Amino acid sequence: MAERRFFSAAAIAGSIAEVIYPVPQGLRGRVIDRMDRFLLNTIVESVDFLYRRFPA
Q: What is the mean pLDDT of residues 20-30?
A: 78
**pLDDT the model gives residue 31:** 79
Range of the domain at 50: 23-56
Residue 46 lies in a domain: yes
Residue 15 within a domain: no
Residue 26 DSSP SS3: helix
Residue 11 lies in a domain: no
Structural domain includes residue 13: no
User: Is 49 contained in some domain?
Assistant: yes
Confidence at residue 7, expressed as pLDDT on a 0 to 100 scale: 62
The answer to whether residue 17 is domain-embedded is no
Mean pLDDT of all residues in the chain?
Answer: 77
Q: How confident is the model at residue 29 (pLDDT cuts 50, 70, 90)?
A: confident
**E strand or H helix that includes residue 56:** none
Tell me: pLDDT of 53 over 60.
Answer: yes
Neighbours of 28 (CB within 10 A): 12
51 within domain boundaries: yes
Residue 6's pLDDT is: 57
**Residue 27 included in any domain:** yes
Q: Domains in the chain: how many in total?
A: 1
